[in-house]
Structure 1
Amino acid sequence: MAESSRDAVLARIRQSLAQPAPLPPRPDFAAPVHPPLNNSDVVVAFAESFQRVGGEFYYCESLEHLAVQLAGFQKRQQVGAPYVWEPQLQALLRTSGVAFRADETEFVEQADLSLTSCEALVARTGSVLVSAATASGRRLSIYPDQHLVLARPSQVVAEIGEALRVVQARFGAQMPSMVSLTTGPSRTADIEKTLVLGAHGPRRLALFLLEDDAENLPL
């Protein structure tokens, strides 16, 4: 009697079940999770990643160059002096001859520009790690329409984990009440998939990277 189609299918199933399924390859848990950075120089890799996510990057080789870069930014964006609340940044800007607003007068109404320091810069993602431990608190990196960051090449690390370890080493058990990774300007496309900048924070993020040996005032 000829074998029916049903019998043929069942025979193939029985044959397949009789052979053990191959095991998936065992993962190498010691291998890096991410591939190597596109550039072996972490500072260059950060600059590329930072611009790729929408940040504006400015290299400053000296205090004079910093003053020129800041003035150019303010002129292009047609904004006034930034709010700066960190004493060390204020001292650096005074040395550079850059005007800033040190008080909180009319901050809510006129907070179009702020300048803060940061804890670390992450080359992998182009992120800026900020915390509430500085005099800038939570507000200066969130509320103003445009956020400027002043940092050093020595603050650049390759991965997010390294940046978090920098914070842990600095503060120990007294961790800041807020630690935030900022990756590009604030944006959302929740409504009708239309990209909107500045929805939950600054619509523009710019970083000024000042050489470590430009002067002896730490950030």
Structure 2
Amino acid sequence: MSESSRDAVLARIRQGLAAGPAPLPPRPDFTTPVHPPLNNLDPVVAFAESFQRVGGEFYYCESLPHLAAQVAGFQQRQQVGVPYVWEPEMQALLYKAGVAFRADETEFIEKADLGLTSCEALVARTGSVLVSAATASGRRLSIYPDQHLVLARPSQVVAEIGDALQLMQRRYGAQLPSMVSLTTGPSRTADIEKTLVLGAHGPRRIALFLLEEEAE
């Protein structure tokens, strides 16, 4: 490096040091939402749109007879039998609606084509269903059967995943369930040769029946 080039470099360094340290980047506002507002102001409609976008099947049920008709239609289209249902409150509701179910675990491994469970919350942003091991369905009924049915209410819809997790904290406090899972669409993978396969790690189909609050 020639003397003139060296002097020029040193001059720029001295000039930079004289100007003081570079200004710090603006501090982010951690109170602002990460995501933009939902596309639909009605969180239930937003959930239905997101749920179907990720591959779920959504069925609105305005009454218990309507629920029975929707479940029967699903069973006929998919050519499946009655679902396994292990939650007492769910069993009572289905009995009142006239929906047949299997309450025990007889031949569960061999014949678990269909399982029906409740859920902890529904996330409108992602179309996810939050399930946990806290119910009588345990860990198995939402994962092992080939097809997973969920029965939920509009009041269970929240906007964001964070809202669902806060709900779990309020509900269970320090005694969180041993398993909490966000189910977003049917189980799928494309790990092998980028070929999409459904049902690789869980149910290959998920359907949600949203029953109106006053339907009892």
The equivalences for 1:26-65 within 5 A come to 26-65=27-66
CA positional deviation for 1:24: 3.6
Residue 202 (structure 2) aligns with: 201
Q: Count matched residues.
A: 213
Structure 1 residue 70, shift from structure 2 partner: 0.2
Match of 1:178 in 2: 179
Q: Per-residue displacement from partner, 1:118-160 (whole Å, max 9, x unpaired)?
A: 0110111111010111110000000000000000000000111
Q: Which residue of 2 aligns with 1:75?
A: 76
Aligned alpha-carbon RMSD (Å): 2.1
- With normalisation by structure 2, the TM-score equals 0.90
Letter in 1 for 2:51: F
Structure 1 spans left out of the alignment, 5+ residues: none
Q: Per the alignment, in what secondary structure is the counterpart of residue 59 of structure 1?
A: strand
- Superposition misfits of 4+ residues, deviation over 3 angstroms: 9-26
Q: Does 1:106 align with 2:95?
A: no
Distance 1:12 1:57 in 2: 69
Following TM superposition, by how much is the alpha carbon of 1:11 offset from its aligned partner in structure 2, in angstroms?
A: 9.5
Separation in structure 2 between the aligned mates of residue 57 and residue 77 of structure 1, nearest angstrom = 15
Letter matched to residue 133 of structure 2:
A
Equivalent residue, structure 2, for 1:188: 189
TM-score norm. by structure 1 comes to: 0.89
Could you say if the C-alpha distance between residues 24 and 154 of structure 1 is closer, same or farther in structure 2, counting changes exceeding 3 Å?
same
Find out whether 1:152 has 2:153 as its counterpart: yes
Return the letter of the residue paired with 1:111.
Answer: A
SS at match of 2:168: helix
Q: 1:14 to 1:171 in 2, by over 3 A?
A: closer
* Percent identity of equivalent pairs: 81
Deviation at 1:25, TM superposition (A): 3.8
Mapped to 2, the partners of 1:212 and 1:172 lie a distance apart of 26
C-alpha distance in 1, partners of 2:123/2:34?
Answer: 16
Are 1:167 and 2:168 an aligned pair?
Answer: yes
Paired residue type of 1:47: A
**Helix, strand or coil for the counterpart of 1:168?**
helix
Take 2:123 and 2:144, find their aligned partners in 1: how far apart are those partners?
Answer: 23
CA offsets per residue over residues 193-214 of structure 1, 9 Å max, x none? 1111000000000000000011
Stretch moving more, 169-178 or 90-99: 169-178
Change in Cα spacing, 1:81 to 1:30, as seen in structure 2 (3 Å) is same
Q: Which moved more, 1:122-131 or 1:168-177?
A: 168-177
